[in-house]
Every structure is written in structure tokens, then in C-alpha cells.
Amino acid sequence: MPNVPSEAPRGDRRSGPPRRVTMQRCGPILVDGPVEVELEDGTTVRSDRFRVALCTCRRSRRWPWCDTSHRERV
Amino acid sequence: MEHDRRGPALPAARGPVSAAVAGYLRGAGPPPRVEDVAGARAYGDDLQLALYLCYELHYRGFADTDRDHEWDPDLLRVRAAMEQRFLAALYADTPGHTGLDDALAELLVEPVRGTGVSHYLRDEGELWQLREYAAQRSLYHLKEADPHAWVLPRLWGRAKAAMAAVEFDEYGGGRAERVHARLFADLMHDLGLDTTYGRYLDAASAEALATVNLMSLFGLHRELRGALVGHFAAVEITSSPGSRRLAEAMRRTGAGPAAEFFYDEHVEADAVHEQVVRHEVIAGLLEEEPQLAADVTFGIDATGHLEDRFGGRLLADWRAGRSSLRVPLDAQTEHIARIS
């Protein structure tokens, strides 16, 4: 689809470039911040960092943020 | 001749070279001689303090010293001689990894039974040991991220953009109260330490000074930009798990909320930073300058080597039941109480 000026209202992310999300098989998901995460209980947590690392291994003690607990332990 | 009024006082000398540098800075003696450097041990108190004094002129300087000393040719000449001794020792002591991938892979593995300082402090550290640790680390943390800012003009493209982004985070993302150096001052306050910049220079061991001198050495030389990036990677990659242990130590000893927060913040921040440093700073740098891979590896290995020396010294002192500091904290604190 060609990239044409959108008529979508301002603030609608569909009008801008897509947000890039970086996935790794052994590591967190990286998303450009700020990020707001809605948790299972309906509460939200927010990170204002320029990039945010989201836990995917579910071992983080600071979940949903990565705390490097995915690392191999020997 | 312009004199700095502010800044920390010059510390007590630890041998002939540091005495000569301090005397010259004070305007009370001739320039230090390059020949004197040969007699000083590379990692010893005298050389490390003398080098620290030379480098500090590029950060905040010292009170009542001539500002022009920052670019004084005589001082730069003796500094270069000290740097050569320091670098030669580091190269000799870090035969290191066969390649960058090996060096990074080793950092990314967590030992189940670690024996480092942060493990010790988490498991059995007492408040007085946490205070000593913070006092020695304050030489870096009160200028956290500053030595690494020097690398920015020497990077290009992806590496530069990513390095600047991480530094921005270190500097609080534009908010003064979140600057990491400020968060560390808050930690020191919780621990009853004096947050004045440079206050604990006299107390710090040669091993502590060497860890800070390494960053200044790498940061101030464009030639060593690869090593600076390696150093930064080593610090950021190992920081999250180490910071978690230190946060637990702060909680267990009831050090205080700001003391806990400093390390909690680093668990989260550095889990992001290490990803950015590996995938963008290192990868970006090597895309532009692939010949620097060996320097990045050297930076990682030199950092590990000096951190091990510092940790070993701390644990040896503490296990023997003695202070790790050259000047007792209480003596310094009493001194502060008297003058304030």
C-alpha cells in the first residue's frame, strides 16, 4: 500500500509510521518508549524510557519489565 | 592566572609522583618529572592517585589550583608516561578472550554461586560495609556517565545515536532529579555519607581509583574509543544482576528508600541499556570500524580485571575484619560535623 497522507485524526497512530518492536528468541521485547502496559488485574504501569524492555521469560522480579533473569545460569 | 575556588580539596599524597603532581597543582613545586614515573607501581597508590589528579582536571578540578593546569604541557607529559605504564600493565594482565563474541557471551551468563562483592553484600554485608562500598564508588557514581560522554564525538551513525540515547537515560532523561549521579547522592544521604563531590578521595583504595582512571583513560583518548565502548558494555551488561543484589543488601540492612531506589533503578535501566549497547552501539561501531573489535574486547577484559582487583581487595579487608578505607569514615564524618 502506498504511503499517502492520511485523513485520520491527529494522534491516531495509524497515520504515522508503524511502531517498531524488536523480538528476540532469548531476551526481552524491545519497544520504543514511553510505554503503558495494562496488566491482568486492569491496572497499568508506565515506563518513560527511550526504549523499554518487556519480559518474555516470565522470570523477572520486576515484571513486566526485563531484569535480565532470562540469562543462562551456570 | 585563574584559580578554581570551588571543587574538592587536593588529597594527601601517597608517594613521590602524587606528591609532585599535587605540589605542582598547588603552585608549590616544579612540574613532576617523567623519570619519577618509572619507579611507581602501575596499580599502586602513588601512580593511581597521581593519574587521578591529572584526570580530575578535566572534570571538576580542585579548589585553589590554577585552571590552566588542565592543558599544561608538563603535566600532560607526565600523565602520558603514567598512562603508558597503566596501559602496559593492563595489556599484560588481560591475555583475555579470543574474540569479542566470547567476551560478551561470558558476561551474559549468570553464575549460580557467585563470589563477588555484590553476592557478599547481599548475603552477609553489614551497614558499615555498604557505607564503605558507597564511599569508594562515589568517586565514579557522583560523575556517573561523564567519562563515557567523551566518546560521543568519536562515534558515527547508529553507534552515536544509541550511545547518546543511553547517556540521556543516565542523565535522567532531561530531569535533574533523575540524573543517576543525583540518585547516588540521595543513596549516600540515606547512608549518612557526605555527598560533596570528591569527599572520599583520600579514603579510596588504589584499586578503586584504578577503576575510575580506566574510564577516564579510555574516554580521553580517541585512539581508545573501542576500549571505551567495551568498558561501557561490560558495565551495562553486568549491572542489572549486580544491582539487584545490592538493592537486596540495602533492603536487608534497612539502608533507606533512596539507597534501595538507586539500585532498583539500575536493575531496570541497565536491562535496557545492555540490549542497546550490544545491538546498536557495538554493532554500529563495528559496522563502521570493524578493525576495532579487538579494542572492544580489550575494554571488556580490562574492566573485568580491575573490577576483580577492587572486589578482591574489599573482600580481603572485610573478611579480615578491617576497614577497606585508607581514612576511617567516622573520622571524616566527625571532621565534617566540626566544620559544618
- How far is B56 from B70, CA to CA, in rounded Å? 9
The overall average pLDDT reported for chain B is 94
Distances (CA, A) of B283 to A70, B103, B159, B226, B292: 22, 14, 7, 12, 11
In this prediction, residue B5 has a pLDDT band, given cuts at 50, 70 and 90, of: low
- How far is B174 from B151, CA to CA, in rounded Å? 20
In this prediction, residue B330 has a pLDDT band, given cuts at 50, 70 and 90, of: confident
| Chain A closest-CA separation from residue B241 CA (Å) | 7
Q: Residue A4 has what pLDDT?
A: 56
Q: Is the Cβ pair A74, B165 closer than 8 Å? A: no
Identity of the residue in B108, B109, B271 whose CB atom sits nearest the CB atom of A67: B271
Identity of the residue in A49, A65, A71 whose CB atom sits nearest the CB atom of B108: A71
Q: Is the Cβ pair A49, B173 closer than 8 Å? A: yes
- How far is A28 from B279, CA to CA, in rounded Å? 13
Asked whether the predicted pLDDT for residue A11 surpasses 90, the reply is no
The overall average pLDDT reported for chain A is 86
The domain segmentation of chain B, as residue ranges, is 16-92, 97-339
- How far is B233 from B274, CA to CA, in rounded Å? 7
Q: Is the Cβ pair B240, A68 closer than 8 Å? A: yes
Q: Which of A32, A60, A62, A67 to mutate to test the interface with B (most CBs of B within 10 A)?
A: A67
Overall average pLDDT of the B273-291 stretch: 97
Secondary structure of residue A36 in the 3-state scheme: strand
A contacts of B244 (beta carbons < 8 Å)? 61, 67
Tens digits of residue pLDDT in B104-143: 999 999 988 899 999 999 999 999 999 999 999 999 999 9
A contacts of B278 (beta carbons < 8 Å)? none
Q: Residue B339 has what pLDDT?
A: 44
Asked whether the predicted pLDDT for residue B337 surpasses 70, the reply is no
B contacts of A61 (beta carbons < 8 Å)? 244
Dihedral (C-alpha) B182, B296, B225, B143: value to the nearest 10 degrees? 10
- How far is B162 from B165, CA to CA, in rounded Å? 5
- How far is A69 from A28, CA to CA, in rounded Å? 10
Q: Which of B106, B168, B272 to mutate to test the interface with A (most CBs of A within 10 A)?
A: B272
Strand partners, A46: A36
* CB-CB contact of B219 with B228 (8 Å): yes
Q: Residue B332 has what pLDDT?
A: 54
Q: Is the Cβ pair B275, A74 closer than 8 Å? A: no
Asked if the peptide bond before residue A64 counts as cis, ω within 30 degrees of 0, the response is yes
B contacts of A48 (beta carbons < 8 Å)? 173
Identity of the residue in A28, A51, A68 whose CB atom sits nearest the CB atom of B241: A68
Does this model's pTM top 0.90? My answer is yes
Tens digits of residue pLDDT in B172-204: 999 999 999 999 999 999 999 999 999 999 999
Asked whether the predicted pLDDT for residue B294 surpasses 90, the reply is yes
* CB-CB contact of B148 with B273 (8 Å): no
In this prediction, residue A13 has a pLDDT band, given cuts at 50, 70 and 90, of: low
When computed from its CA atoms, the radius of gyration of chain B, rounded to whole angstroms, is: 19
Q: Residue A56 has what pLDDT?
A: 95
Superfamily holding B97-339: Heme oxygenase-like (1.20.910.10)
pLDDT over 70, % of chain B: 96
Asked whether the predicted pLDDT for residue B235 surpasses 80, the reply is yes
SS3 for chain B is: CCECCCCCCCCCCCCHHHHHHHHHHCCCCCCCCHHHHCCCCCCCHHHHHHHHHHHHCCCCCCCCCEHHHHHCHHHHHHHHHHHHHHHHHHHHHCCCCCCHHHHHHHHCCECCCCCCHHHHHHHHCCHHHHHHHHHHHHHHHCCCCHHHHCCHHHCCHHHHHHHHHHHHHHCHHHCHHHCHHHHHHHHHHHCCCCCCCCCCCCCCCHHHHHHHHHHHHHHHCHHHHHHHHHHHHHHHHHHHHHHHHHHHHHHHCCCCHHHHHHHHHHHHHHHHHHHHHHHHHHHHHHHHCHHHHHHHHHHHHHHHHHHHHHHHHHHHHHHCCCCCCCCCHHHHHHHHHHHC
In this prediction, residue B71 has a pLDDT band, given cuts at 50, 70 and 90, of: very high
Q: Residue B49 has what pLDDT?
A: 98
Q: Which amino acid is at B122?
A: R
In this prediction, residue B79 has a pLDDT band, given cuts at 50, 70 and 90, of: very high
Cell of B206: 588504589
Asked whether the predicted pLDDT for residue B2 surpasses 80, the reply is no
| Chain B closest-CA separation from residue A35 CA (Å) | 13
Q: Which amino acid is at B21?
A: V
SS3 for B219-286 is: HHCHHHHHHHHHHHHHHHHHHHHHHHHHHHHHHHCCCCHHHHHHHHHHHHHHHHHHHHHHHHHHHHHH
Among the residue ranges A13-22, A45-54, B88-97, B100-109, the one predicted with the least confidence is A13-22
Identity of the residue in A50, A53, A61 whose CB atom sits nearest the CB atom of B169: A50
Strand partners, B200: none
Q: Residue B331 has what pLDDT?
A: 62
In this prediction, residue A3 has a pLDDT band, given cuts at 50, 70 and 90, of: low
Q: Residue A8 has what pLDDT?
A: 47
Q: Is the Cβ pair A28, B275 closer than 8 Å? A: yes
Q: Residue A5 has what pLDDT?
A: 53
Q: How many CB pairs under 8 A join A and B?
A: 60
| Chain A closest-CA separation from residue B295 CA (Å) | 25
